[in-house]
A and B are shown apart, each in its own frame.
Chain A
Amino acid sequence: MAVRSTRLKRVIGAVTAATLVAFVAACGGGDSDDSSAGGDVTLEFAQWWGAELPAGELDKIVNDFTTQNPNIKIKLISAPYASTKQQLVTGAASKTLPDVVGLDGAWVNDFAKQGAIADMSKLMTDANYDSSQLASQIQLEGKTYMIPVVNFVYPLFVNKDLLTKAGVAKTPSTRTEFLDAAKKITATGSDVKGWALPLDTAVPNGIQNDVMSWLWASGGSMLADGKPALQTAAVKSTVEYVKSLNDAGVIAPGSLTMKEQDKVEKFTQGQVGMMIDSLAHVTLIKKNKPDLKFEIAAIPAEDSYTGKRGIPYASWGVGISNSTKHKAEAFKFVSYLMSQETNAKLATLANGFTGNKNAEPDFSNSDPLFKEAFEIYKQSTPANEFVGLPKSEDLMRSFDEQLQLVLTGKTSVDDALAKSQESWASVIG
Chain B
Amino acid sequence: MTLLASKAAPPVEQAAPARKTLARRLVPYGYLSPTIVLIVVLMVVPIVMVISYSFRDNVIVQENSVFAGFANYTKVLTDPDFLVAMKNTAIFITVSMVAHLVLGLAFAMMLNTQLLSGVTKAIFRIVYILPWLFTIAVIAVIWRLLLDPSGVINYVLHSLGLINQSVNWLGDPGMALWAVTFINIWSGYPFFMISLLAGLQGIPNDLYEAAAVDGTNWFQRFVHVTLPQLRPVIISMAVLDLIWTSQQFALIWMTTGGGPLNTTEMLSTYTYKQAFSEYEFSTASAAAVIVLLLTMVLAFFYVRQQRER
Using CB atoms and an 8 Å cutoff, list the residues of chain A in contact with chain B.
9-10, 12-13, 16-17, 19-20, 23-24, 27, 86, 89, 93-94, 110, 113-115, 191, 199-203, 252-258, 262, 271, 391, 393-394, 397, 401, 404-405, 408, 410
Contacts and interface: CB of A to CB of B under 8 A. Distances in A.
B257 A253 contact: no
Given A20-B34, A93-B60, A257 B256 contact: yes
Contacts of A114: 61-62
Contact of B260 (A9, A13, A257, A262): A257
B148 A254 contact: yes
B171 A16 contact: no
Given A253-B166, A397-B273, A200 B259 contact: yes
Contacts of A397: 273, 277
User: Which of A13, A254, A257 has the largest number of chain B CB atoms within 10 A?
Assistant: A257
A62 B36 CA distance: 43
Given A86-B276, A110-B61, A191-B150, A254 B170 contact: yes
Contact of A394 (B31, B258, B269, B278): B278
Which DSSP category, helix, strand, loop or mixed, fits chain B's interface?
loop
Contact of B37 (A13, A20, A408): A20
B171 A256 contact: yes
Contacts of B279: 89, 110, 391
Contacts of A199: 259-260
A408 B173 contact: yes
Nearest to B262: A401
Contacts of B191: none
B283 to A, nearest CB: 12
Nearest to B155: A191
Contacts of B172: 256
Given A16-B30, A202-B257, A202-B258, 16 more contacts: A9-B27, A10-B23, A12-B30, A13-B27, A17-B33, A19-B34, A20-B37, A27-B41, A93-B60, A200-B257, A200-B259, A202-B256, A253-B168, A254-B170, A404-B259, A404-B261
Q: Is the interface of A mostly helix, strand, loop or mixed?
A: helix
Contact of A201 (B63, B148, B258): B258
Shortest 6 CB-CB distances between A and B: which pairs? A202-B257, A256-B260, A254-B171, A253-B149, A93-B60, A201-B259
B176 interface: yes
Given A13-B27, A115-B63, A202-B253, A257 B170 contact: yes
Contacts of A191: 150
Contacts of A113: 61
B282 interface: no
A10 B61 CA distance: 47
Nearest to B32: A16
B30 A401 contact: no
